[in-house]
């Protein structure tokens, strides 16, 4: 099933909560997720495949169009769609844009109202009523993905709604993404967190080397951070390399949790002028 919605509604947070492990990066910035990310949730008698998607928005530019295409294409070829909305935000044209896509897909849709821990409970019923008038949802679930409130009940209902089938993946597998991809994403996550609004979204991370050294209990990773401008490079590197060191340390700790191993992480910063508008560079960085 696919998890879709506007940017920054908590799709990746929900996926990580369901899986009990972090595979999708999360920040407080919209459009953090760029690719579709498969999460594999195996239960005693079922296996549910979740597709986390970029936030659906009316984006401009090659990279934005790629992100939207990743999300909208995930609304077809699945048995069920989860439409995630933010309880703290008003329904608007962004929701209508997503719902129009879902109407055309003709796939059953669950409405999940996230971040209920941030609003008064008495505001939920009017919100549910508003969304009920916009679309014929098969179920409506208020949850808090960050706190795990309501997520077990949500997964239980999803299991009931999905058709029976045989498992596609081994029971100990939680994603089909290579570790190199997740490591690159964790580095990008720390760039977004550490630079706040100083850096636009023209950052790509490319893991150039990934070497396991089991005799030392160590994984050695070399990665390049690509930015569009010289000024962006200076911001990421920081005074005497201080910010790059902070990004590297924070990313390394996250990657060590993922790999359950000590990690030596080496980062470089390169300028790729206007890479977000280059078909060749987008393909190179995995945004085809």
pLDDT above 80: residue 59 = no
C-beta separation of 66 from 288 below 8 A: yes
Q: What is the DSSP track for the chain?
A: -EEEESTTSSHHHHHHHHHTS--S---SSTT---S-EEEEEE-SS-EEEEEE-PPP----SHHHHHHHHHHHHTTSS-S-EEEEEETTS---HHHHHHHHHHHHHT--EEEEEE-GGGS-GGGHHHHHHHHHTT---SEEEE-BTTTTBTHHHHHHHHHHHSPP---SS-TT---SS-HHHHHHHHHHHHHHHHHGGGS-S-EEEEEEEEEEEGGGTEEEEEEEEEESSHHHHHHHH-GGGHHHHHHHHHHHHHHHHHHTSEEEEEEEEEE-TTGGG-HHHHHHTT--
What is the pTM (predicted TM-score) of this model? 0.92
Mean pLDDT of the chain: 93
Query: CB count, 10 Å around CB of 73?
Result: 13
Label residue 288 by pLDDT band (50, 70, 90).
confident
pLDDT beyond 80 at 273 = yes
User: Residue 253: pLDDT above 80?
Assistant: yes
Question: What's the average model confidence in pLDDT over 176-197?
Answer: 92
Summarize pLDDT for 257-271 with one digit per residue, the tens: 999 999 999 999 999
Sketch out the chain's domains with CATH numbers.
Answer: 2-161 (3.40.50.300), 179-284 (3.30.300.20)
Q: Of 234, 35, 277, 9, give the one whose Cα is nearest residue 143.
A: 9
The answer to whether 192 and 32 are in contact (CB under 8 A) is: yes
pLDDT at 48 over 80: yes
Instruction: Measure CA of the first residue to CA of the last residue in the chain; give whole Å.
Output: 22
Indicate if the pLDDT at residue 199 is higher than 80.
Answer: no
| Mean pLDDT of all residues in 71-75 | 87
Strand partners of residue 39: 50
3-43 tens-digit pLDDT: 999 989 999 999 999 999 999 999 888 778 999 999 999 99
Instruction: Give the orientation angle of helix 11-19 with respect to helix 151-161, to 10 degrees.
Output: 80
Give me the pLDDT at residue 43, please.
93
Walk across the sheet containing 139-142 and list its strands.
37-42, 47-52, 2-5, 81-86, 109-114, 139-142
Q: 125 pLDDT exceeds 90?
A: yes
Token pair of 138, please?
């098969």
Q: Is the pLDDT of residue 174 over 90?
A: yes
């Amino acid at each position: 099933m696919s998890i879709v919605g506007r940017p920054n509604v908590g799709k990746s947070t929900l996926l990580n909560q369901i899986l009990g492990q972090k595979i999708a990066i999360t920040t407080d910035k919209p459009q953090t997720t760029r690719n579709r990310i498969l999460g594999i949730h195996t239960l005693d008698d079922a296996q549910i495949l979740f597709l986390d998607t970029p936030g659906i928005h009316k984006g401009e530019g090659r990279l934005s169009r790629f992100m939207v295409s990743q999300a909208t294409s995930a609304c077809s070829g699945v048995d069920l769609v989860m439409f995630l909305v933010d309880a703290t935000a008003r329904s608007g044209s962004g929701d209508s844009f997503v719902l129009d896509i879902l109407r055309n897909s003709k796939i059953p849709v669950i409405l999940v109202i996230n971040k209920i821990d941030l609003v008064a409970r008495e505001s939920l019923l009017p919100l549910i009523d508003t969304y009920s008038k916009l679309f014929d949802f098969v179920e409506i679930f208020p949850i808090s993905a960050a706190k795990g409130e309501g997520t077990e009940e949500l997964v239980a209902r999803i299991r009931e709604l999905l058709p029976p089938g045989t498992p596609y993946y081994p029971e100990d597998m939680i994603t089909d993404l290579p570790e190199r991809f997740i490591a690159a994403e964790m580095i990008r996550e720390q760039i977004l967190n550490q630079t706040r609004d100083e850096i636009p979204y023209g950052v790509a991370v490319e893991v150039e080397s990934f070497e396991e050294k089991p005799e030392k209990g160590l994984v050695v990773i070399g990665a390049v951070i690509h930015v569009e401008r010289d000024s962006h490079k200076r911001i990421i590197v920081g005074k005497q390399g201080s910010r790059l060191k902070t990004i590297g340390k924070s990313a390394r700790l996250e990657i060590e949790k993922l790999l359950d191993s000590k990690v030596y992480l080496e980062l470089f910063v390169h300028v790729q002028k206007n890479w977000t508008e280059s078909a060749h560079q987008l393909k190179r960085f995995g945004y085809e």
